[in-house]
Amino acid sequence: MFGISPIGLALWLMGLAYFYRFWPKLQAPTTDEGLSVNPATTEGYFEQVYGIAGELRELGVTADSDFAGRNILDLESLPGSPLILALKSGDEARLAPPADQPVGVGDVLGVLGQHGLIMDWAQSHRLQPASPTQHLASLFAPTHAGVCEAVVPPTSRFIGQNVGLLRLRKRFGISVLALGRSGKIFRQDLRSHDIRAGDILVLHGAWRDVSHAAEDRDFVVVTDYPKVEERPHRLAHAGVSFALAMVLALLTDLPLPVALWSGAVGMLVMGVLTMDEAIRAINWKTIFLMAALIPLGWAMDASGAAAWIAQEILLWMGDVPVWLLQLAVAVLTTLFSQVMSNVGATVVMVPMAVNIALAAHTNPTVFALIVVLSASNNFTSLANPVLSLVAGPANYRGRDLIRTGAPLSALYVLVMLVMVNIVF
């Protein structure tokens, strides 16, 4: 299983050295366009559109504070009050504390606002500032909670009702941070506004609570957010299932699919995820792509098309050294990987590469390995799923990928061919 590890290690070191040496020259110049805020940058987007900005701080209620015995609504009505997003009382912590929730000595408030304003507010009311998210870190984790936009549809039961009377914090654990209507943004005295069709509500809460509240269809969440229910109490079960799968794969003679399947079954049995979640996690596009490409590769081999193409390549190239044939296979596979997935490029190219090797009376295993490694040599197009994930948030354009990735792909081919011939 680890026979090709030296090749992977060499490629990894080559990539690190490449970026360490040339990154200052390859980095895209900073422009105003690159700095513009877009919805993919969530925090910047809500700051630009709704004016919701600042930092999260924790404020402890001391014995000298005038907050003891008052409720959340009273605190929010005070001049200069930041957004109160969470409350820790004793051992219990929650987001979106209800308006009638009393506050006592020793409680911790999780607030959002400008640093200076929060400090002034804390000093005025004898609150003890704590390290940011010292007690409430898990509640404010981006994977657990965040800010989102929701639109009120014409069929909503919220229409005509007062924001305060909806009691979203008590019913769902969701705070309303702002309201958008006809190009105007309202952030103050939200409880007095009546809901209208088409209003945009800016909400903060746990993603699980947002998902449950959206099931009633009184508002439609338009911000993408994690919809899988978190089960932190199942972390140990997930670790055991994963470890079991790895042990079976590495230390036994079980086929790799069976070993990994055992880990997946373990997670289902122990409640780490449900069957519906497991089914939704399957990338059906990949399944059907493989279902189409595997017969295509078999057909190319069985029909003689792969052998014919191999012979034509050999006739065109003439009597050349084996390393030139390897280079041709590597370059051709790399080109295929720019327009299709690495799996697709592998399935199409392996039969052809094997036939080229057989016709040249050399080792077909080496040629097949060259195809497998070259199929991952895509650093210039969004056919690479990893590049597609980072290109949007990082505001990378096509020419940025080509300028950075083309030299890296060339080095990849050279290092890969040298290492394959050394190892094999």
Number of domains, the chain = 4
- Alpha carbon separation from 35 to 53, 61, 223, 388 (Å, rounded): 17, 39, 21, 19
Q: How far apart are CA 218 and CA 195, in angstroms?
A: 11
In a shared domain, residues 293 and 414: yes
Cβ neighbors of 345 (< 8 A, separation 6 or more) are 333, 336, 337, 371, 374, 375
Beta carbons of 55 and 115 less than 8 angstroms apart: yes
pLDDT band at 153 (very low <50, low <70, confident <90, very high): very high
- Contact 140/56 with Cβ under 8 angstroms? yes
Q: CA–CA separation, 250 vs 71, rounded Å? A: 58
Contacts of 2 (CB under 8 A, 6+ apart): none
- Predicted local confidence at residue 404, as pLDDT: 85
What digits encode the pLDDT tens for the residues 363-408? Answer: 999 999 999 999 888 888 766 667 765 665 566 777 878 888 889 9
pLDDT of residue 256: 85
Q: What is the model's pLDDT at position 19?
A: 87
Q: Is 2 within a domain? A: no
Mean pLDDT of the region 58-72: 89
Q: How far is CA 59 from the centre of its chain?
A: 31
Closest C-alpha among 200, 211, 341 to residue 283 = 341
Domain end (from 75, 100, 130): 130
Question: Residue 366: its pLDDT value, please?
Answer: 92
Residue 24 lies inside a defined structural domain of this protein: no
Q: Report if residue 277 sits inside a domain.
A: no
Among 358, 349, 330, smallest CA distance to 417 is for: 330
Q: Average the pLDDT over 58-65 and give the result.
A: 90
Residue 3 has pLDDT above 50, yes or no: yes
Residue 343 exposed, middle or buried by CB count within 10 Å (0-12, 13-18, 19+)? middle
- Same domain assignment for residues 181 and 243: no
Sign of CA pseudo-dihedral 24, 26, 30, 35: negative
Tokens of 113: 């606002």
Report yes or no on 226 lying in a domain: no
| 76 assigned to some structural domain | yes
CATH number at residue 183: 3.30.70.1450
Is residue 311 predicted with pLDDT exceeding 80? no
**Mean pLDDT lowest for which of 19-33, 138-152, 372-386?**
19-33
pLDDT value of position 417: 94
Top-confidence range, 16-30, 50-64, 144-158: 144-158
Co-location of 109 and 187 in the same domain: no
Task: Please state, in angstroms and as integers, the Cα–Cα distance from residue 64 to each residue in 84, 86, 126, following that order.
Answer: 20, 21, 6
Give domain status of residue 1, yes or no: no
Beta bridge partners of 113: 55
Last residue of a domain, one of 82, 106, 130: 130
**Residue 285 has what pLDDT?**
73
Q: In this structure, are residues 203 and 180 in contact, taking their beta carbons and an 8 Å threshold?
A: no
Contact present, 84 and 23 (Cβ < 8 Å): no
pLDDT of residue 99: 87
Higher-confidence position of 26 and 124 = 124
Mean pLDDT lowest among 109-118, 388-397, 414-423: 388-397
DSSP state for residue 191 in the 8-state scheme:
G
In this structure, the answer to whether residues 293 and 410 fall within a common structural domain is: yes
Residue 243 pLDDT = 94
* Res 108 pLDDT > 50: yes
pLDDT at 34 (0 to 100)? 39
Q: 3-class DSSP state for residue 167?
A: coil
CA–CA separation, 232 and 238 (whole Å) = 10
Higher pLDDT, 410 or 280: 410
Residues 65 and 126 in one domain: yes
Token pair recorded at residue 23: 């990154």
Looking at per-residue pLDDT, the higher value among 115 and 244 belongs to 244
User: Is the predicted pLDDT of residue 131 greater than 70, yes or no?
Assistant: no
Please tell me whether residues 416 and 289 are part of one structural domain: yes
pLDDT at 30 over 50: no
- The number of helices, as runs of H, and strands, as runs of E, in the chain is 18, 10
Residues 92 and 203 in one domain: no
Residue 241 above 90 pLDDT? yes
239: β partners: none
Do the beta carbons of residue 386 and residue 350 sit within 8 Å? no
C-alpha dist (Å) from residue 354 to 203, 285, 308: 58, 28, 12
- Domain range for residue 402? 285-423
Q: Measured in whole angstroms, how far is the alpha carbon of residue 342 from the centre of its chain?
A: 21
Ramachandran angles phi, psi of 58, nearest 5°: -115, 135
- Spatial contact of 46 and 100, defined as CB atoms under 8 Å apart: no
- The predicted pLDDT at position 367 comes to 92
Q: What is the mean pLDDT of the chain?
A: 83
Model pLDDT, residue 213 = 86
Least confident residue range of 122-131, 175-184, 290-299 = 290-299
If asked whether residues 391 and 416 sit together in one domain, one would say yes
* Residue 328 zone, left/alpha/beta (φ > 0; ψ -120 to 50; rest): alpha
Residue 22 lies inside a defined structural domain of this protein:
no
On whether both 71 and 182 belong to a single domain, the answer is no
Q: How much is the pTM?
A: 0.52
Q: Which carries the bigger pLDDT value, residue 18 or residue 137? A: 18
Least confident of 147-156, 302-311, 357-366: 302-311
Residue 111 is assigned to a structural domain of this protein: yes
Strand partners, 84: 111
What average pLDDT does the segment 337-345 reach? Answer: 76
Residue 363 and residue 320 share a domain: yes
Q: What is the DSSP letter of 27?
A: S
Do residues 318 and 364 both lie within one domain? Answer: yes
| More confident call, 296 vs 62 | 62
CA separation, residue 346 to residues 285, 316, 332 (Å): 17, 23, 11
Does 174 share its domain with 293? no
